[in-house]
């Protein structure tokens, strides 16, 4: 596997654009378009939130036939809780983009991210979509145009054998596992049927995005969508799944590291649990605990909070067998303090990433969860968002 520069335009036959059309007052980019030169097989996973954004409903219907050719995303306004007008606006966005691109309305994936409860400024969408075809390129600012409170672009591309996978993602707050908890758009030139693509995508998402949490809130708008245009021909499916796992996991880490106000990426690996579900529950319970996240922000090796979070997880484990490591330092030995040197551990915690390993010592199943610390910055960002 080889890492490439560029992102969604690294696979053959994809072009994109990122531009400012006036939805965000700040003047930053707020419209992203990704287009394949040929009709592609497509699959997507969606938020588990029962309140779903209008664009999700439109996209779900467009993807019923497993085909798509373009993705149109706006940032700034999420078009959620907007009733019938919201659905009409999402539909019109797809229709206008399709007309400009010379493709079918039904082959356009639409997505929106930003404030809930506001209507899309359709006049700006209409004028913004004009002549988009002529502005498409393989070297665009598309990754920037889907961001909201993110501080960093999230993009990746990998090449394996004859195929390439590229991806861009967005997500910083309102992020919590369960089916597509942010926006991520993946392109590939591999030839794979939409049915298989759906299976591969679900496998990867369960190991990556669904094991990541920033703040327990699963957004109303978010999705992971993949377009496979087949221009590279048939591929080794095992290698494709591996490459897709890698892309999704790396994107999850990039999102977690850029969590609202975060100063640290946290990776929690639970080892040797009785079942995979237990390992997942334990890892997620730790990564979602506000108290754990605050302690890690403060470089405080307060391991009791990890045990407490594990106890709340509903997973089976024996407290008095558990070993806990911060990086390679053993903090807890068989359920009680290892008499570690707090000064040393504080020092190793004072970095931009912390790997925590929990050894359950009862079985053979493992899981890894991704998250970030909780800081003053999180409060600051979220106490002043809409107004």
Largest alpha-carbon pair distance within the chain?
A: 68
Please state the closest distance from residue 262 (CB atom) to its own copies, in A. 12
Please state the closest distance from residue 287 (CB atom) to its own copies, in A. 13
The binder of its own copies chosen from 88, 242, 300, 365 (CB under 8 A): 300
The residue count for the chain: 387
Nearer to its own copies, 82 or 280 (CB): 82
> CA-to-CA distance for 72 and 62, rounded, in angstroms?
13
> CA-to-CA distance for 385 and 137, rounded, in angstroms?
33
Q: Residue 91 to residues 108, 115, 160, 173, 349: CA-CA distances in angstroms?
A: 10, 19, 37, 27, 49
User: Contact, 139 vs 7, CB < 8 A?
Assistant: no
86 phi, psi to nearest 5 deg? -60, -45
**Which of these ranges, 87-95, 130-138, 168-176, 244-252, lies near its own copies under the rule CB under 8 A?**
168-176
Task: Please report whether residue 341 would count as binding its own copies according to CB under 8 A.
Answer: no
Task: Please report whether residue 25 would count as binding its own copies according to CB under 8 A.
Answer: no
77 phi, psi to nearest 5 deg? -135, 135
Size of site (CB under 8 A) for its own copies: 67
Task: Please report whether residue 321 would count as binding its own copies according to CB under 8 A.
Answer: no
> CA-to-CA distance for 174 and 189, rounded, in angstroms?
31
User: Closest Cα partner for 75 from 182, 215, 187?
Assistant: 182
**Which of these ranges, 8-16, 105-113, 235-243, 331-339, lies near its own copies under the rule CB under 8 A?**
331-339
Nearer to its own copies, 18 or 177 (CB): 177
Nearer to its own copies, 4 or 294 (CB): 294
User: Which residues are identified as catalytic?
Assistant: 181
Nearer to its own copies, 218 or 252 (CB): 218
User: Contact, 378 vs 215, CB < 8 A?
Assistant: yes
Task: Please report whether residue 193 would count as binding its own copies according to CB under 8 A.
Answer: no
76 phi, psi to nearest 5 deg? 115, -45
Helix (H/G/I), strand (E/B), else coil: 299:
coil
Task: Please report whether residue 112 would count as binding its own copies according to CB under 8 A.
Answer: no
Nearer to its own copies, 45 or 96 (CB): 45
Task: Please report whether residue 382 would count as binding its own copies according to CB under 8 A.
Answer: yes
**Which of these ranges, 11-19, 224-232, 245-253, 376-384, lies near its own copies under the rule CB under 8 A?**
376-384
Task: Please report whether residue 304 would count as binding its own copies according to CB under 8 A.
Answer: yes
Residues 64-103 within binding reach of its own copies (CB under 8 A): 78, 80-83
User: Closest Cα partner for 110 from 219, 34, 24?
Assistant: 34
**Which of these ranges, 56-64, 116-124, 188-196, 237-245, lies near its own copies under the rule CB under 8 A?**
116-124
Please state the closest distance from residue 194 (CB atom) to its own copies, in A. 27
User: Closest Cα partner for 194 from 66, 89, 386?
Assistant: 66
Helix (H/G/I), strand (E/B), else coil: 317:
coil
Output DSSP code: residue 25: T
The tokens for 45 are 């996973």
Task: Please report whether residue 274 would count as binding its own copies according to CB under 8 A.
Answer: no
End-to-end C-alpha distance for the chain, whole angstroms: 46
Task: Please report whether residue 384 would count as binding its own copies according to CB under 8 A.
Answer: yes
Where do contacts with its own copies occur on this chain (CB under 8 A)? Answer: 48-52, 78, 80-83, 115-118, 173-174, 176, 215-220, 288-291, 294-295, 297-298, 300-305, 307-314, 317, 319-320, 332, 335-337, 342, 346, 374-376, 378-387
């Amino acid at each position: 596997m080889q890492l490439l520069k560029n992102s969604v335009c690294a696979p053959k036959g994809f072009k994109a654009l990122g531009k400012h059309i006036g939805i965000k007052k700040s003047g930053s980019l707020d419209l992203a378009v990704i287009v394949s030169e040929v009709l592609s097989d497509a699959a997507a996973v969606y938020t588990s939130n029962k309140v779903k954004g209008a664009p999700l409903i439109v996209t779900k219907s467009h993807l019923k036939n497993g085909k798509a050719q373009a993705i149109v995303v706006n940032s700034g306004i999420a078009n959620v809780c907007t009733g019938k007008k919201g659905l009409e606006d999402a539909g019109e966005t797809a229709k206008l983009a399709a007309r400009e691109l010379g493709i079918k309305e039904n082959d356009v994936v639409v997505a929106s991210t930003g404030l809930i409860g506001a209507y899309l400024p359709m006049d700006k969408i209409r004028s913004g979509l004009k002549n988009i075809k002529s502005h498409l390129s393989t070297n665009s600012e598309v990754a920037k145009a889907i961001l909201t409170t993110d501080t960093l672009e999230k993009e990746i591309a990998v090449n394996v054998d004859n195929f390439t996978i590229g991806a861009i993602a967005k997500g910083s707050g309102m992020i919590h596992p369960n089916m597509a908890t942010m926006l991520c758009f993946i392109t590939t030139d591999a030839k794979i049927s939409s049915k298989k693509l759906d299976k591969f995508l679900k496998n990867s998402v369960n190991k990556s995005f669904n094991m990541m949490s920033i703040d327990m809130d699963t957004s109303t708008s978010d999705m992971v969508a993949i377009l496979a245009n087949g221009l590279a021909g048939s591929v080794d499916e095992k290698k494709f799944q591996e490459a897709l796992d890698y892309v999704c996991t790396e994107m999850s880490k990039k999102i977690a590291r850029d969590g609202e106000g975060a100063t640290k990426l946290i990776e929690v690996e639970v080892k040797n649990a009785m079942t995979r579900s237990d390992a997942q529950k334990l890892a997620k319970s730790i990564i979602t605990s506000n108290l754990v996240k605050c302690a890690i922000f403060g470089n405080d090796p307060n391991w009791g909070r990890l045990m407490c979070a594990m106890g709340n997880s509903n997973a089976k484990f024996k407290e008095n067998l558990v070993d806990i490591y911060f990086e390679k330092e053993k903090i807890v030995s068989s359920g009680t303090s290892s008499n570690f040197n707090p000064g040393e551990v504080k020092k190793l915690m004072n970095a931009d990433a912390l790997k925590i390993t929990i050894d359950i010592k009862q079985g053979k199943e493992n899981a890894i969860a991704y998250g970030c610390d909780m800081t003053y910055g999180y409060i600051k960002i979220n106490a002043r968002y809409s107004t």
